[in-house]
Structure 1
C-alpha cells in the first residue's frame, strides 16, 4: 500500500490558502516534541472540523470538473448539511451558554468561544454558496437551456398564466398570519421558507407585519410555459422556471386585497433540535420520544436567514420576536435554501449528469437465491465468509436477500436485527413481519433515538409490535448504533448461526448512495457474540467480554488502545509497524493521544477521515508519521475499516467511529475479518482510496485541507469509479466463465 502523499496543485493550494479562516493554532504555535496529552494545542475543535468538511462539500459545487447538475446537487447537500449542523451542534452550544456552562473542550474552548467561532467561519461559507449559484451555476444552467428566471424576465402573457396558476393551485393553500394588537406573533416552523410582508391601509398608517409560509407541498421551481405543477422531468426544448416565492410575491394583492403592499422579503428560521429528556426517569420511552418530537416544533431559534435587501422593520420584528442576536442573523442574497433545487436532477439531461450507476449483484450471491427456501445463500456463506461493498454491490441482492431467505426458509428458527435507520417503505421491516407470520421467532431492536428518524422508527416499531414481534426500543443511557442481524437455522446436526455485521444502516435507499461494507459469516464465535448482544437489547445485562467482536461499551475502547499500543511497541523494537484506518470521524481525545504516541514511536499511520478530525497531522516531533485524508465524491464515504499491521487478524469493520460517543455512549459492534481473501480485499480497498487523486483531500496541521490533484502526466485515479468498474468487470468475468 503506497504511503506517498501526492502534492496539491499549486494554484489550488494558493486559492485554498487565501480562503482559509484563521480559527486554529498557527504554525508559529506548533507544540514542541515534549508531548503532553492534556495540552489543548494538540487538538482541533470538532465543530470547526465539521465546517471544514462542509467547505469540501461546497467545493464540489464550485468544481467545474463535475457535471453541471452534479454541482447543483452539492449546492442542495450543502444547505441540508448546514441546516442539520445548526440544529444539532449550534443548538446544543446555545443551550450550554444559556445554562452557564463554561467547561472547555479538549482544544481549550468554552461553549461561547465555539459558538462565536462557528458564526465567524460559517458566514463567508454561506456567501460563497450564494456566489457560486449566481456567478457560475445559474449562468451555466442558462447556457444549457435550463433558465431560472426573475419575474422581470417574464412576458405579460406568462405573468397572466402564472397568476391563474396562483389563484387555482397556490392561493387556497396559503394562510396569512398578521401580527398586530389583535393577533399574537405567529409561530414560525423550523426550516420553513416564508415571506415577511409589510402592509398598510392608508399612507399615514403604521406598517403591519404578516407572515406567509411558502407551501412545501407545491413545487419550489415552477415551470414557465408549461404545466406549472408538472415535475422537472417534463422537459421541452428549453426548461424555464421561476421560484414559487416569487410567484406568491407577485400576486400578494390577491392575498391582501384593498391594502397597500409596502414591502416583502423572504426569510427562514432554524430551530434547535437538542430537545432532550432524562431517560432514567422516563416511564415510557415511546412517550418520551413523542414529546421530544413535539417540543422540537417550538424549540429555540438558532439562526435567522433573511434576504439582504429586507425592509429594516421586517428584520427588526423577526429578530426581536424570535429572540436572535445580530450574530445569528444571516443576511443573504436570495434565493434562500437550495435544498429544493435538487429537483433539477429529474430533468432528462444525461449530458449534464454523471453516468448512472446501478449496484451490481455480488458474484458469489448472484445465484444464491435460486432455491425456493433460500438455502443456497446459507450454503454459500457456510462455505466462506462474504464481504459486500455498497453501493458497488446491491443491497437488495445481498443483505435483503439474506433476510428474505431467512424469512421463507422452513429450517430457520429465529431472526434478530438491530435497526438504527431504515427507509420509510422499508422492505427489511416488511420482511421481518413476513418472517413472524411464517412462524419464525423475530426480535428487533429499533433505536427510537436515531436523530431525525425518531418518527419513522416509532411507526415501524408499532407495526412490528402489532405482528407479535419482540421489539426493544433502545437501551437506557445508550443509543444502539450497531448494524447487525442474526439468523438461527436448524441444520439437522445442530443449530447454525449466520451473522451480518455491517458499517451501514438497513436502508435500501441510502445503500445506493452511501459507501459501506458488510460481512456475512457463519463463524460460530461471531454468532454467539451477537446472541449475547441481542439478549442485552431485550434484557438488561451487558456482557463485557466477547469471543470475536469488539463491542461498545464493553471491550471496544480497551481493545483498540491495545492494538495501537502493540504497533508502537513493535516500532520501538525496530520492526515495521503501520496503522491504516478509515472512518467518518476521529474525535476521541484518548485515541488521538494514543495515535500521537504511536507516531512518535515510529508507527506509519494513514487515516482516511471523512469529516471531523481532532488530530493534527505533521506536527514536528509528534505526528510527523501521520497523514490524514478525506474523500468527497458522488457517494458518501461511510464505511469504517481498521488495519493494524502486527495484529492477528489485523483487519476490522463495523459501525463505530473513533468518537467518545461511539466508544462509551453507544452500543456498537466491530468484527474481525478472518478470511485471508477478504483481508486482501480490504487492503486493496484502502490502497485504492489512498491513491485517489480526484476526490481526496490532504489535511494540514491547522485543520485546513488541500485538494490532491494529478501531477503533470499522471492518470486520474477516482477510487469510487475504480470500484464501480471492478464490480462490473468481476460480474462480467463470472458470467463469461459459466
Structure 2
C-alpha cells in the first residue's frame, strides 16, 4: 500500500493489522478507557488529520488532492483489515474486550458513527478541490455538455479503447452473478427492451487495466471518470434498449491472509491464501446516491452484504483514484521539486561506500539524503572481488528494485548471497513471491523465515576479506528497501563496521534462517527475544534516576504506540517525574496529560510533505537531555504488541559520538520542535493543531534547506547547519 507521501498502508507503514488479542494485556490489568484510547478510533483520528491537509490552503492544490486520495486509500485498507477483523470476531461470537474495554460489537458501532462523518468530510473536500481545480484549468467533467471537438474525441476513444475491453453481462437466472473482485468497480444498468417492454438488468465490471480517469485530448486538462464515460455512451452499448437507470458501485472485501502454522510448503500456502483473499467476505459496498432501487436490491442480495458497511454518496466513489489526476504535469500546483543529496562522506572517499564506513560509522537521513547509497552498498559488494558473502532481510522491495538486481548481480558474480524474503508483508505478498523466484533462479539462497513471525527487521551485512581476515559491514534501517517509499518516507540508514554489530547481525540471520536463538548479543536487541525487555529496562532506569533526583527524560519517535505494558511503563515514568516527549505519527493508545497518571507526557503527531517513518528512542541516562551521554537507539519496531512479540525486529544503539549527536540533536530534536506540521494529542483523545508561535518551525523544510545533517563530510563546517536548541518552556528555537 502504493506509494504516496502518507499512504501508510504500504509500510507501507504497516499501519493496519488484525485485532490485538486479550492475551496482550498485562496480567491483572483490567481493560480501561480511563487509561487507554481505542486503537481503531485512534487510527480514524489519524486519517482525519491526513484529510485535514487536503483542505489546508498553504499547500499547493494538487498536493491537497494527493492528501485526499491518500485518505481514501488509507481508509480502504482500514476497512479491509481492521474492520474486517472485528466483523469476523462478531460473527464468531467473540466478544473479548480491547485494551480500552470495548467489545468488537461496541467498536463497530463507534467506528460506524465516525465513518459516516469521515466519508462526508471526504466528499466535502472533493467538492471544494474540484471547484478550485477548475479555476486553474483542470476540469473534471461529468454529464455537462462538452465542446463538439471534445465530445467527438471521447466518442472515438470509447468505441476504440473502452468497448473492446469491457464485457456486458445480463443479470438473470440464465447468467450466474459475476464475481466482483476486491476493490472492484462496476455499473448496473436498468434497461427496457424496446421490442417488448421487458425490463432487463445488465452489469459492466470495470477492468482494472482501464484508467480511473480519462484525460480528454487537448491543451486544457479535462478529465472524466471511467464510470461517467461508460454511462455517457451507454446507448452505444445497448442498441434497442432504453436506459431507465444506472449506478456505479465499488466493493471492498476482507483482505487478511490466514496461514496455517503447520503449513508444509509456505510458498504454495501463500499462493493459495492470496487467491482466497480475492474472494473474501464483502466488508464495504459503495453506491452512488441515485443508484437505481431495483438494481440496488439485486446487488445487495447477490453480494450478501449483511454485516457490511454500505456507503451511499452523491459524490465520487473510490476517492483513492484521484491520485491519477495528481499526476497532471502542473509543477505550479505541486511542492517544489526536491533532489536528495548524496552523502558527502562517501563522496570524499571517491564514492567508495566501504572506505567511508571503515573510517567511521555513518548515519543517512532519507529522503533528504539519497537512498542510492544503500543500493551502492550492495552494488559495490557485488562487484568487489574481496567480498565473499552478502545477507539481506527484505520486507518490501517494490516492483522496480535496484536492491534486488544488485543481489542477483552478486550471486551471478559468485558471491554467497542469502535473502530473507518476507512473504507476510501485507499486499506485497505476490510481489515478494515473484522476487523470491527471480532471486532463486540467479543462485541466491532464499529463506522465508518463520511461519508465525514476520521478519520486519531491515538489516544487510557484507562480509569482506581484509588484511588476512574477514570484516563485516552492516546496514541497519528503520525503513524498507523500497524505491518509492525511500523518496517520501523519512527514515534512517545506519552503516557500521563495528565487529560487535557484525557478530550480532550474523546471529540474527542465523535465528531467522536456522531458528537458532542467540543466547546473548553484544550490541543490538532482537524481538521477540529481548527487545521488549530492553525497552522496559531503559524506561525503568529513567524512573530510578528521577526518584534519585537525577535528570530523567524519555524522547521517542515512532509510528504507533499500542502495547499496554510499554504504555504502563511510560505512565509509571510520568508518575515518577520523568519528562516524556513522544512523536507518534499514527495510532496512540496512550492517554497523555491526565493528572496522577500521565501529566508529564506530551504526545504530538507530524503530518506533512513527507511521511515520518523512522523509529528513534532516546533516554537521558541521568544527564541533561539532549546530551552526549544520552542513550540513543534506532529501530525497525514500533511500540506495538505485534512488533515486540510477533515480529523479528532489531533495536540498534547509536554509540559513535558524531552519529549519536546527529540522530538526537538534529533529527529527533527537530521533530520535537516542529510547530507547522504538528498536532497535539489532548487527554480526551482529540487532536488540535500546534500553535505556530512567533517563530514557526517546519522540520521538513529545515532538513531540505540545510546542508547534510547526517552523512556529513569534512567540507561542511559545524556553522553550516543551524543549531537546534530545546527549551522546555519555549519548545525550542534555532541558533
Q: CA deviation at 1:622?
A: 0.6
Could you tell me how far apart the structure 1 residues matched to 2:197 and 2:638 are? 60
Kindly indicate whether residue 238 of structure 2 is the aligned counterpart of residue 256 of structure 1. Answer: yes
Kindly indicate whether residue 48 of structure 2 is the aligned counterpart of residue 48 of structure 1. Answer: no
Deviations 1:317-361 (A, max 9, x none): 222221224861001123211323222333332221110111111
Kindly indicate whether residue 122 of structure 2 is the aligned counterpart of residue 147 of structure 1. Answer: no
My pick for the range that moved more, 420-429 or 701-710, is 701-710
Asked whether the 8 Å contact 1:391–1:512 carries over to 2, the reply is yes
Could you tell me how far apart the structure 2 residues matched to 1:479 and 1:225 are? 47
1:244 is aligned, of 203, 206, 226, to 226
1:322 aligned residue? 303
1:277 aligned residue? 259
Could you tell me how far apart the structure 1 residues matched to 2:710 and 2:35 are? 45
Q: Secondary structure at the match of 1:498?
A: strand
Deviations 1:108-160 (A, max 9, x none): 111121122111111111110111111x2011101111111222231345333
Q: CA deviation at 1:532?
A: 0.6
2:173 aligned residue? 181
1:192 aligned residue? 184
Q: Name the TM-score, length of structure 1 as normaliser.
A: 0.90
Could you tell me how far apart the structure 2 residues matched to 1:677 and 1:582 are? 20
Against the structure 1 CA distance between its residues 208 and 275, is the aligned structure 2 distance closer, same or farther, given a 3 Å change threshold? farther
1:215 aligned residue? 207
Asked whether the 8 Å contact 2:392–2:420 carries over to 1, the reply is yes
Kindly indicate whether residue 718 of structure 2 is the aligned counterpart of residue 718 of structure 1. Answer: no
Asked whether the 8 Å contact 2:396–2:482 carries over to 1, the reply is yes
Could you tell me how far apart the structure 2 residues matched to 1:314 and 1:623 are? 54
Asked whether the 8 Å contact 1:407–1:440 carries over to 2, the reply is yes
Against the structure 1 CA distance between its residues 161 and 348, is the aligned structure 2 distance closer, same or farther, given a 3 Å change threshold? closer
Q: Name the TM-score, length of structure 2 as normaliser.
A: 0.90
My pick for the range that moved more, 530-539 or 318-327, is 318-327
Against the structure 1 CA distance between its residues 734 and 154, is the aligned structure 2 distance closer, same or farther, given a 3 Å change threshold? farther
Asked whether the 8 Å contact 1:363–1:730 carries over to 2, the reply is no
Runs of 4+ that moved beyond 4 A: 35-38, 202-206, 728-737
Alignment of 1:297-316 (within 5 A): 297-316=278-297
Could you tell me how far apart the structure 1 residues matched to 2:486 and 2:350 are? 20
Q: What are structure 2's unaligned runs of at least 5 residues?
A: 1-27, 623-628, 718-735
Number of corresponding residues: 683
Alignment of 1:118-129 (within 5 A): 118-129=111-122
CA-atom RMSD, angstroms?
Answer: 2.0
1:392 aligned residue? 368
Kindly indicate whether residue 660 of structure 2 is the aligned counterpart of residue 679 of structure 1. Answer: yes
Could you tell me how far apart the structure 2 residues matched to 1:369 and 1:324 are? 62
Q: CA deviation at 1:584?
A: 0.5
Kindly indicate whether residue 717 of structure 2 is the aligned counterpart of residue 708 of structure 1. Answer: no
1:96 aligned residue? 89
1:471 is aligned, of 439, 443, 446, to 446
Against the structure 1 CA distance between its residues 206 and 479, is the aligned structure 2 distance closer, same or farther, given a 3 Å change threshold? farther
Q: Secondary structure at the match of 2:658?
A: helix
Could you tell me how far apart the structure 1 residues matched to 2:69 and 2:524 are? 38
Q: Secondary structure at the match of 1:151?
A: coil
Against the structure 1 CA distance between its residues 203 and 110, is the aligned structure 2 distance closer, same or farther, given a 3 Å change threshold? farther
1:361 is aligned, of 334, 337, 342, to 342
Against the structure 1 CA distance between its residues 337 and 42, is the aligned structure 2 distance closer, same or farther, given a 3 Å change threshold? same
Asked whether the 8 Å contact 1:696–1:707 carries over to 2, the reply is yes
Q: What are structure 1's unaligned runs of at least 5 residues?
A: 1-34, 227-235, 371-375
My pick for the range that moved more, 306-315 or 431-440, is 306-315
Kindly indicate whether residue 396 of structure 2 is the aligned counterpart of residue 421 of structure 1. Answer: yes
Asked whether the 8 Å contact 1:305–1:336 carries over to 2, the reply is yes
Against the structure 1 CA distance between its residues 703 and 729, is the aligned structure 2 distance closer, same or farther, given a 3 Å change threshold? closer
Could you tell me how far apart the structure 1 residues matched to 2:383 and 2:692 are? 51
Q: Secondary structure at the match of 1:364?
A: helix
Kindly indicate whether residue 665 of structure 2 is the aligned counterpart of residue 689 of structure 1. Answer: no
Against the structure 1 CA distance between its residues 326 and 501, is the aligned structure 2 distance closer, same or farther, given a 3 Å change threshold? closer
Q: CA deviation at 1:188?
A: 1.0
Asked whether the 8 Å contact 2:366–2:487 carries over to 1, the reply is yes
1:13 aligned residue? none
Could you tell me how far apart the structure 2 residues matched to 1:200 and 1:584 are? 54
1:68 aligned residue? 61
Q: Which has the higher contact order (CA 8 A, sep 6+)?
A: 1
